[in-house]
């Protein structure tokens, strides 16, 4: 039996006069499916390679080296900035530029190299078209799925000599611990004024129009130690002070724009000692900066009251986190995404994110950076996964964005 191939698909079967080699339509379809499964998938192969490399925040060296090799193999000249030493990482920001070959809007693409900290071995595997980690730990789709799709799209632009108006890559370390790498990157290097990150766990087509402002509040309660069985009345419990403060706080989802969370509490030295110290850390977020300011003051008041009631001292620190942003449906970067998604057969949906991404940093610096969902699911957990089809689809979306930016 001979098989004719056209553009990678089975299109004809030679039939003997006796008819013994005749295949019915169902068997032909099955054969085509099996053939397709054996074809190489460079996006999947790259993604699996990246997912096998551990890269918790501050330890991105192995992934950075793999990415640098990939880009150099394309004939590009990527460089790594000196941010590593400043931010406490093994890798800095990677930057690469493709010079424009056609008129239009230059673009930058950003993905982060790190993942949340590991909790087990990395053993990515594909089962029924879905990639998961067989090692009962995170997969790393956040954000290596974006990394693989963007790099494969750039490879195709180079290999196929596709016209483009200029493409820049910014690949950052330590995103998961406060967008640290992106904040250390010199955005003045960018020629593009508009760019994209793929860092939202939702079906492809979901467009993130905004992310919240963030504040961290840390309180250190100081009481007086005493033997809990012999002289408890001489002690002043810092844990009681912290507990009273937390009990008076509004926590969780406060409204459709605002959240508050007590994420860390630690204190005491032994079960039979009245605890002389207790530390509490809170994460506060709101899409309304005015609301966030009011919430910070409300939390500080609860902390001061809890300390006073328990006759303890307290020190507080408020740190500004990511600055929020809000894009409009008619902003150019949003229109580009809508055009590209439509070309790929996706009906865009719009919403807001409760989390931060490197897009926060670039928008705060006066650029337009849009966050697009890329199909990853259950991120930051051992159930994290992504469909192979979505990895491939985001390559198509990336190429469509590049095409939409042409004049």
C-alpha to C-alpha distance for 377 and 192, rounded to whole angstroms: 30
Note if 152 is an active site residue.
no
Beta-carbon contacts of residue 371 (< 8 Å; ≥ 6 apart): 196, 197, 198, 199, 200, 207, 208, 211, 353, 357, 359
- Note the maximum CA span of the chain: 103
- Residue in 142, 175, 199, 358 annotated catalytic: 175
E strands present in 246-342: 252-255, 258-267, 277-286, 313-320, 325-326
Count of other CB atoms within 10 angstroms of residue 99: 9
Work out the number of other CB atoms within 10 angstroms of the CB of residue 222.
15
In this structure, are residues 285 and 258 in contact, taking their beta carbons and an 8 Å threshold?
yes
Verify cis geometry, omega within 30 degrees of 0, for the bond prior to 143. Answer: yes
Selected catalytic residue, list 59, 60, 105, 114: 114
3-class secondary-structure state, position 247:
helix
The kind and range of the H/E element at 125 are strand 124-127
Report which DSSP code applies to 65: H
CA distance 350 to 352: 7
Helical residues (DSSP H) of 128-190, grouped into ranges: 141-159, 180-184
| β pairing state of 130-133 and 386-387 | antiparallel
Give catalytic status of residue 114 as yes or no.
yes
294-300: long-range contacts (C-beta < 8 A, 24 or more apart)? 295/254, 295/258, 295/260, 296/215, 296/217, 298/249, 298/250, 299/217, 299/249, 299/260, 300/217
Residues whose CB falls within 8 Å of the CB of residue 16, separated by 6 or more in sequence, listed in order: none
Is the distance from CB of 245 to CB of 307 less than 8 angstroms?
Answer: yes
Catalytic residues: 114, 175
């Amino acid at each position: 039996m001979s098989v004719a191939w056209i553009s990678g698909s089975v299109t004809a079967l030679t039939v003997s006069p006796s008819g013994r080699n005749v295949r019915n339509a169902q068997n032909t379809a099955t054969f085509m499916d099996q053939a397709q499964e054996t074809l190489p998938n460079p996006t999947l192969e790259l993604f699996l390679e990246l997912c096998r490399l551990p890269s918790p925040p501050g330890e991105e060296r192995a992934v950075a080296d793999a990415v640098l090799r990939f880009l150099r193999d394309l004939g590009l000249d990527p460089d790594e900035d000196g941010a590593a030493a400043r931010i406490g990482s093994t890798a800095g920001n990677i930057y690469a530029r493709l010079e424009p070959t056609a008129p239009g809007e230059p673009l930058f693409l950003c993905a982060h190299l790190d993942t949340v900290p590991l909790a087990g071995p990395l053993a990515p595997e594909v089962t029924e078209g879905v990639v998961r980690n067989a090692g009962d730990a995170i997969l790393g789709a956040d954000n290596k799925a974006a990394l693989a799709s963007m790099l494969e799209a750039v490879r195709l632009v180079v290999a196929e000599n596709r016209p483009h108006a200029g493409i820049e890559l910014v690949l950052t370390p330590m995103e998961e611990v406060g967008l640290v790498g992106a904040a250390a990157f010199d955005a003045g290097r960018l020629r593009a004024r508009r760019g994209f990150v793929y860092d939202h766990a939702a079906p492809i087509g979901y467009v993130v129009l905004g992310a919240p402002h963030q504040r961290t509040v840390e309180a250190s309660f100081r009481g007086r130690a005493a033997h809990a069985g012999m002289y408890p009345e001489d002690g002043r419990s810092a844990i009681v002070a912290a507990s009273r403060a937390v009990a008076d706080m509004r926590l969780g989802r406060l409204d459709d724009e605002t959240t508050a969370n007590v994420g860390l509490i630690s204190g005491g030295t032994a079960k039979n000692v009245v605890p002389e110290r207790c530390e509490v850390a809170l994460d506060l977020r709101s899409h309304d900066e005015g609301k966030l300011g009011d919430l910070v003051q409300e939390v500080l008041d609860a902390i001061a009251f809890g300390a006073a009631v328990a006759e303890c001292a307290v020190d507080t620190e408020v740190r500004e986190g990511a600055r929020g942003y809000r894009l409009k449906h008619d902003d150019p970067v949003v229109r580009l995404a809508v055009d590209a998604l439509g070309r790929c057969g996706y009906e865009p949906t719009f919403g807001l994110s409760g989390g931060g991404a490197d897009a926060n940093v670039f928008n705060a610096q006066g650029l337009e950076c849009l966050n697009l969902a890329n199909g990853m699911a259950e991120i930051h957990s051992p159930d994290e996964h992504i469909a192979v089809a979505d990895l491939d689809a985001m390559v198509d979306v990336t190429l469509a964005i590049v095409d939409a930016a042409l004049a």
